Structure 1
Amino acid sequence: MKRWEVVRSAILSDIDAGVFEDGRLPGDLVLAERFGVNRHTVRNAIKVLESEGALRVQHGVGTFVADDLVVDRFNSDRRFTYKLLGQNKSLKAEILSINEASVEADIAKHLNIAPMALVAELRSVSFMNDSPLATGTSYFPIDRVPGLAAAFEGEDSVAAALKRCGIAEYNRRWTRITARRPTPQEAQRLRISSSSPVLVETSVDVIPDGLPIKCSSSAIRSDRYEYLIEGNEDDPSRSDLT
């Protein structure tokens, strides 16, 4: 067996055993020292594992276990509880705090409420397979979701808490995606370095009559998240390059 094949086999064993914390592999030098080979041999093994779909390489960021990636398809119902169905991944949320607070003008505008009006402010961290994926804040108009704080008792799901408040159905009105460096607090919660970029998802959800019920802003680990926007094949305006 060639040296790169030995390294490949050992890395696969480590993946199966869940050795790599947060799904991220050590650097080439660390792996080379561990296996007693040169960096070129390690890179050959990683290249093969990437071609086999076991690893995902992001140049300038790192090498990750491929199963550590969330693929998110855009649609009008974008709740995390539904995103991962069929992806063999588990997702849970940790509620950090929920308080009454006044909001700035841009949040008030998104929620169609008066500036400085009181909202329920929810801070949370989402975990995929027990590793942090996203952290953010959601704002709910108090007069539209009375008793929301109490509804979260024993719950870590926004959908379940809203249902307790009498809101069983809501959909996404819009989503905006940008990118930036994480704040020190975000980096700590997501277990990443301050130089690792995050995706920032800002969104507004509405109830069936169109009234905004939630405005959220989340910092998402860009090394673990992928957005997929699918076109409508039946759309006559769609054109393909051949």
Structure 2
Amino acid sequence: MSTQSLPVHERRKGTAVWKQVEQVLIGEIWSGQFVPGDKLPSEAALAERFGVNRHTIRRTLAELVSNKIVRVENGRGAFVRQDVLNYQLASSTRFWEAVALGGQSSSVELISSGVAPASGAVAHVLQIDDGIPTVFLDSIGRANGEPVLIARHSFPMDRFPDLIERYQTEGSIRAALLSYGVHSKRQRVRVMARMPDQEETEVFGLPHPILVVESTYVDQAGAPVDFGASRYASGRVQLDIELDESVRNIGAEVVNPKR
């Protein structure tokens, strides 16, 4: 296993040493050098590796525990937490169903909604001109009480003029669309990775990179009805993409987290 040390001469000015150690360990967890269930090296081993005292390592581990990245067992050490949501990203699944399949409790909180002119990816995916009104729903999804995703779904307003009211009545996007006679399914997925912005850091409370998943949903005739842009906390979810004929294109782009 390749690990990164933190020699004194390479420490970054303006950032606490314990924070720098935390960032290195988080990077190794995210990259798979330490996987859920793995035991981290002992405090003494980490202190020697990074050239710091054990008090600094304890501060780092306390922060990792606070952010629910690792757990500490008395007498045994620190372990990478295993309660990561396995999200089966298939043509038919929505967030709450994926959470239920993983044996966890789910909740979706609608944080804002309204009408906005289509532009960029929204106009392209929904196959409408820029400026055409769309209905949007912004929500936060939680698994076992922990925020897992921030999502925006956009719909053509001319087809779903009272979607917000129907969503509030029916309680889910799937049910709201069914009230129009629309059976939606995910047709296309695009996955990207980047570092979190301020909003995402505040919502998730984690310094992990963000997984951005853009999904195109279509109706029975193949017409686009929903463009979903979801941002996932990578430390709390892993995407299990089901490749079948219903998912016609899987695109992946990794954005340099240093940008």
Give the TM-score taking structure 1 as reference length.
0.67
Deviation, 1:42, is 1.7
Moved more, 72-81 or 215-224: 72-81
Structure 2 distance, partners of 1:155, 1:21, is 36
123, 131, 155: which is aligned to 2:138?
123
Letter aligned with residue 102 of structure 1: P
Does residue 25 in structure 1 map to residue 74 in structure 2?
no
1:53 paired residue number? none
Does residue 173 in structure 1 map to residue 187 in structure 2?
yes
1:161 paired residue number? 176
Q: Secondary structure at the match of 1:81?
A: helix
1:138 paired residue number? 153
Contact 1:95–1:156 (Cα < 8 Å) also in 2: no
Does residue 92 in structure 1 map to residue 107 in structure 2?
yes
Contact 2:69–2:235 (Cα < 8 Å) also in 1: no
Deviation, 1:149, is 1.3
Q: Secondary structure at the match of 2:70?
A: coil
Structure 1 distance, partners of 2:66, 2:106, is 17
Structure 2 distance, partners of 1:229, 1:188, is 28
Does residue 106 in structure 1 map to residue 151 in structure 2?
no
- Equivalent pairs: percent with the same residue? 24
Q: Secondary structure at the match of 1:219?
A: strand
Q: Secondary structure at the match of 2:102?
A: coil
191, 206, 209: which is aligned to 2:218?
206
Q: Per the alignment, do residues 111 and 231 of structure 1 end up closer, same or farther by CA in structure 2, a change over 3 Å counting?
A: closer
Contact 2:194–2:211 (Cα < 8 Å) also in 1: yes
Does residue 42 in structure 1 map to residue 56 in structure 2?
no
1:56 paired residue number? none
Letter aligned with residue 199 of structure 1: L
Moved more, 140-149 or 151-160: 151-160
Deviation, 1:143, is 1.1
Q: Per the alignment, do residues 127 and 149 of structure 1 end up closer, same or farther by CA in structure 2, a change over 3 Å counting?
A: same
Contact 2:96–2:108 (Cα < 8 Å) also in 1: no
Q: Secondary structure at the match of 1:77?
A: coil
Q: Number of paired residues?
A: 181
Letter aligned with residue 85 of structure 2: V
Give the TM-score taking structure 2 as reference length.
0.63
1:217 paired residue number? 229
Structure 2 distance, partners of 1:143, 1:82, is 28
Contact 1:93–1:156 (Cα < 8 Å) also in 2: no
Q: Per the alignment, do residues 106 and 128 of structure 1 end up closer, same or farther by CA in structure 2, a change over 3 Å counting?
A: same
2:44 paired residue number? none
Q: Secondary structure at the match of 2:175?
A: helix
- For the aligned residue pairs, the C-alpha RMSD in angstroms reads 2.5
Q: Per the alignment, do residues 150 and 229 of structure 1 end up closer, same or farther by CA in structure 2, a change over 3 Å counting?
A: closer
Q: Per the alignment, do residues 203 and 23 of structure 1 end up closer, same or farther by CA in structure 2, a change over 3 Å counting?
A: same
Report Cα offsets for 1:27-52 as digits up to 9, x if no partner. Answer: xxxx59xx5x7xxx525xx3xxxxxx
79, 92, 116: which is aligned to 1:77?
92
Q: Secondary structure at the match of 2:176?
A: helix
Structure 1 distance, partners of 2:212, 2:100, is 22
Which ranges of structure 2 fall in alignment gaps of 5 or more residues?
1-38, 40-64, 245-259
Q: Secondary structure at the match of 1:167?
A: coil
Contact 1:22–1:131 (Cα < 8 Å) also in 2: no
Q: Per the alignment, do residues 74 and 123 of structure 1 end up closer, same or farther by CA in structure 2, a change over 3 Å counting?
A: closer
